[in-house]
Structure 1
Amino acid sequence: MSISAAFFAQAQDVSAIRNSIDVYSNSPMTGSAKFNAMGGSNGALGGDASSLLTNPAGLGVAISGEVNATLSITSNKNTSSFAGSSYGYNINKGDLGNIGGIMTFQLMTERAWKFINVGVNFSNQSIENYVETPGNSNIIYDFDENNSSSLGRHAYDRYGNLSKTSVGVGANYNNNVYIGAGLNFFNLTMDQSDTASFTSLQNGSSELFSKQNTPYYERSSGFSASLGVIGKLSPNFRLGASLETPTFWDIDRSYNFYNDPVYGDDYAVENRKLTTPLKATVSAAFVASKSFSMNIDYTLGLTRPKYKEYGPAESELNDFFKDNYKNVSEVRVGAEYRVKQIRVRGGYSYASNPLDALTISRFNNDGSVGDESYGNLILNDRNALSFGLGYDFKSFYIDATYQNISTKYSNPFMQGTVDPANNIEAGYYSSNKLISSDSYAVSDVKNNRNNFFLTFGWKF
């Protein structure tokens, strides 16, 4: 499958695909330090407010009230390699990553219903990401015979925050079956730019170009609902299942555009509606004793992202997802071992590549152009490994976790064609100069995130 030049021309830029999938559809959410240490795997264990991130039936497992707050310290490093050179950039952030709480209501009756519990969970994380790629003096753009430039560098710069607020209720039936339901409210702020620097072959000066329709800004809100159940097969084995509806996003978007024949350089606003995938999770847990437990979750996306079509940009995005998007699967495994008041935890998760292999026209290192197929273009699979410790002071507890998330992908940029007949202009603009290309430059990006979480909690 080849990516058409017209697609990216109308859909603004490559990051429109990346953000639709990686930020809006499949971004892992931050839970408590315990939740993160166990790889986000608790779908059949439950017991705290972070259950709302996987299976709301886990609220029904709790037998006492609890509140906790989690501090997150994140380090996000991208290393982009191109034409024999590499640039690395690291972003360090500290923030309130999670707040959760459960109120338990024991039913003092002879009936089989034992508890009705109410939970609230707030998850917050930075989506800041910066990818800077070295240039290549062999990739040359000619404005005229006296004005030629070579590619100096390229950069995607994204910053903002994503939050998820969940409220839910869980019930305990005869200490064997637990059911739950939750409502999820999302908020997203995202600002992004796409720029390239070019170096004059005549005098060595540099000039910065911005891609058409960038920088752009999105302020978004979303809503989803979830249902879940957990059943005990025996005192040691549990099974769980949950379903989260698609998230219905309302996106207010604004962006810059350049060289418009009527308005010149100007600023535009628009609204988009995005529906992200329906997700199902099945879980299994083994509780050997009060000292050891482990859980495994498997989550599968059952649908694909889809925009409401107001014009060609949304139509082309939907066509791309229809042809190239794969249902994302994720496996999460976690375990906890208790020694008196000490808790030792570990976890691992793997999320599959959401895109099929894609073939594009690309620049080679010598400046020539050829077609090449990529199995990891724009996005790739994601691995996360975590380890944590906790200490229980009876009513109070403290948990600490280290988490590493890594992925490698091929990063296409610099394509942008101009088609006046169809009113399409998607090149790079600066000082009335235009750079356009039917082909991409492609760098190799290694993304490595080292995260630390510290949770303080109180049980009552």
Structure 2
Amino acid sequence: MKANSFLTIVFFLTTCLLNAQTLDDALRLTNESIEGNAQFVGTAGSMGAIGGNVSAIYSNPAGLAVFDKGLVEFSLAGYSYKSNSEYLEQQTNVRRLKNSIPNFGVVAKIYENEEKPISRVNLAFSINRTNTFDRKVIFNKDESPTSITEDMLDEYLFGSPSKNYSDLAWSTYIIDTNQFGDYVTPFDFFDENGVNIRQFGEEQTRKIIHDGYKRKISFSLGTEFYKKILLGISFNIDKLHFKSETIHTELGNSNTIYDFNKLEYIEEYEISGEGGSASIGILIKPIKGLSFGGAFHTPTFYNLYDKVDYTLNSSFNTPDANDNYEYSATETDEYSYYYISPAKLTANLGFIFKNIGFINIDYDKKFVNKTEYIDNNDSEYISEVNQLIGENYKSTSTIRVGGELRFGPIAIRGGYAISDNPYLNSGTSFSPYKTSVSTGIGVKGKHLYFDMSYLFNKYKVENSYYLYTTNNGTQYNDKVLSDISGTYSEKSSSLVFTLGYKF
């Protein structure tokens, strides 16, 4: 199943213009992944009804009241991302490795008295990563039948509300005038009759590199009543940092292209900021071995700052009158605005088998189509983007199933999660978008415990990626291409280690 290619084109075009407050970012900044301590990840993030886990407090804060001891824990993770792309019938595979600190937490038991209506009160402080933005995709063509300079020239001559590089191209001689007074690119050649004959064949590469994270710093309270009803609340400071670097490179071919040596167009885009949110949850334990409940997670209100740098570098084989071979030009834009990520509802169901293990099912409903941008100027552009969010996205569902088997001090874990496609055109019913499979093992002693887990994520869609447009079209294998694009698929995995001490 392919993601809507038209949407992808709109995303990229809009990003070229403003690189802030876009339809694409609305989804990217809303997304969450299964991250946290190793026990939580080992069950595919399915511990909401079980509780007694620092990272599971994020799913349902009522689970904080399950802890019968205080603890402190710390986690380390290794992250692997792999993409497989195809561009003009040429494939490229890329892998990226990264380390992170997905979790740190402290739990303190404040009060416990089984004979009182309030039988237990716990407090917790935790730092939990909720998404990793790391990604790397490369599109490559050894002898390209087209060039981004076509798009640069069209934008310079005719204008475009979604492009930003024509002035850079003029400053670096990617766009120039010839002896006939025509505006040309390094790929334009004219015969004796003044007829333009464009010659390509350069090596073309497009790299997209993403870095960053979403993180919650949480202060939580969990209370148990009559050992049957558990209530919890969390107040969160939400941190967000996203960085994107898009590098488009074209290397000249001396056999077909005179004088041109290299072109490098770079877009560096960074979003940073923080916000606040809260969540409240309840768990009910009517009989031994059964736990069920739910939680409400408020929208997160972010104050964000964007910075975008556009750079174009060029080099030629023949120097100009000042003996220059290389040229460079840069533009910078900055923005500040508010971003509201959507609310989420969570339902939890767990079955606990004393001294044997547990099985847990979690269900999330997130209202992605309610994501919203706000700026101080109430601009028409922001209103249009917010309208597009409602028209192109829908509320999404995520189902997580996980369990644990105990053999004395050793625990074996496994889990599975599946997420819904957020695009409205995928249908109103559940449409698989991403699946996750996990496994893990843990060992606990009287005070110390150690957990390890592995999580594998696979996306069910093949993504389309738009590079640029050629208004005159490009002839390639009996086809005329106007929108130059590629496709890619992606997979990711993580290995998590957690060390903790109970007191």
TM-score of Structure 1 vs Structure 2, range by shorter chain = 0.7 to 0.9
Supply the distance in 1 between the matched residues of 2:276 and 2:242 (Cα, whole angstroms): 18
SS in 2 for 1:54: coil
In the alignment, is residue 334 of structure 1 matched against residue 402 of structure 2? yes
* Corresponding residue of 1:409: 462
How big is the shift at 1:209?
4.2
Supply the distance in 2 between the matched residues of 1:128 and 1:4 (Cα, whole angstroms): 19
Say whether the 8 Å CA contact 1:8–1:416 is kept in structure 2.
no
Give ranges in structure 1 of 5+ residues lacking alignment.
359-373, 419-436
Which residues in structure 2 correspond to 1:244-393 (within 5 Å)? 244-257=297-310, 265-304=330-369, 305-309=371-375, 310-357=378-425, 381-393=433-445
In the alignment, is residue 173 of structure 1 matched against residue 225 of structure 2? yes
Q: Cα deviations across residues 268-325 of structure 1 (Å, max 9, x unaligned)? A: 2110211111100001001122212110000011352211154354334323211110
SS in 2 for 1:414: strand
SS in 2 for 1:315: helix
Larger mean Cα displacement after TM superposition, 118-127 or 220-229: 118-127
Supply the distance in 2 between the matched residues of 1:257 and 1:53 (Cα, whole angstroms): 38
SS in 1 for 2:387: helix
SS in 2 for 1:317: helix
How big is the shift at 1:75?
1.2
Distance 1:5 1:47, change over 3 A: closer
Supply the distance in 2 between the matched residues of 1:50 and 1:318 (Cα, whole angstroms): 32
How big is the shift at 1:234?
1.5
* Corresponding residue of 2:262: 207
Say whether the 8 Å CA contact 1:65–1:102 is kept in structure 2.
yes
* Corresponding residue of 2:139: 133
Supply the distance in 2 between the matched residues of 1:356 and 1:133 (Cα, whole angstroms): 28
Q: Which has the larger share of strand? A: 1
In the alignment, is residue 117 of structure 1 matched against residue 128 of structure 2? no
In the alignment, is residue 452 of structure 1 matched against residue 457 of structure 2? no
* Corresponding residue of 2:73: 68
Distance 1:149 1:20, change over 3 A: farther
SS in 1 for 2:40: helix
Distance 1:208 1:316, change over 3 A: farther
* Corresponding residue of 1:427: none
2:362 aligned partner, one-letter code: D
How big is the shift at 1:349?
0.7
1:324 aligned partner, one-letter code: N
Say whether the 8 Å CA contact 1:294–1:335 is kept in structure 2.
yes
* Corresponding residue of 1:79: 84
SS in 2 for 1:381: strand
* Corresponding residue of 2:59: 54
1:446 aligned partner, one-letter code: S
SS in 1 for 2:65: helix
SS in 2 for 1:293: strand
CA RMSD of aligned residues (A): 3.0
Supply the distance in 2 between the matched residues of 1:126 and 1:26 (Cα, whole angstroms): 9
Say whether the 8 Å CA contact 1:7–1:317 is kept in structure 2.
no
How big is the shift at 1:51?
2.4
1:12 aligned partner, one-letter code: C
Distance 1:60 1:272, change over 3 A: same
1:458 aligned partner, one-letter code: Y
Larger mean Cα displacement after TM superposition, 77-86 or 284-293: 77-86
Supply the distance in 2 between the matched residues of 1:238 and 1:385 (Cα, whole angstroms): 24
Say whether the 8 Å CA contact 1:11–1:313 is kept in structure 2.
no
Supply the distance in 1 between the matched residues of 2:352 and 2:9 (Cα, whole angstroms): 54
Give ranges in structure 2 of 5+ residues lacking alignment.
151-184, 190-197, 313-328, 472-480
Which residues in structure 2 correspond to 1:69-108 (within 5 Å)? 69-108=74-113
Distance 1:238 1:6, change over 3 A: closer
In the alignment, is residue 224 of structure 1 matched against residue 277 of structure 2? yes
Identity of aligned residues (%): 22
Q: Cα deviations across residues 247-275 of structure 1 (Å, max 9, x unaligned)? A: 1111101113579xxxx842121102111
How big is the shift at 1:440?
4.2
Q: Cα deviations across residues 192-220 of structure 1 (Å, max 9, x unaligned)? A: 12232335463385533437xx3222112
Supply the distance in 2 between the matched residues of 1:239 and 1:194 (Cα, whole angstroms): 46
Alignment partner for residue 216 of structure 2, among 125, 142, 164?
Answer: 164
Q: Cα deviations across residues 202-244 of structure 1 (Å, max 9, x unaligned)? A: 3385533437xx3222112121110000001311211110010
How big is the shift at 1:439?
2.2
Distance 1:102 1:406, change over 3 A: same
Which residues in structure 2 correspond to 1:38-49 (within 5 Å)? 38-49=43-54
Supply the distance in 2 between the matched residues of 1:26 and 1:7 (Cα, whole angstroms): 16
1:68 aligned partner, one-letter code: E
How big is the shift at 1:79?
1.6
Query: Which has more radius of gyration?
Result: 2
Supply the distance in 2 between the matched residues of 1:269 and 1:122 (Cα, whole angstroms): 29
* Corresponding residue of 1:371: none
Q: How many residues align?
A: 416
Distance 1:59 1:101, change over 3 A: same
Say whether the 8 Å CA contact 2:349–2:361 is kept in structure 1.
yes
1:308 aligned partner, one-letter code: I
Supply the distance in 2 between the matched residues of 1:441 and 1:136 (Cα, whole angstroms): 16
What TM-score results when the alignment is normalised by the length of structure 1? 0.82
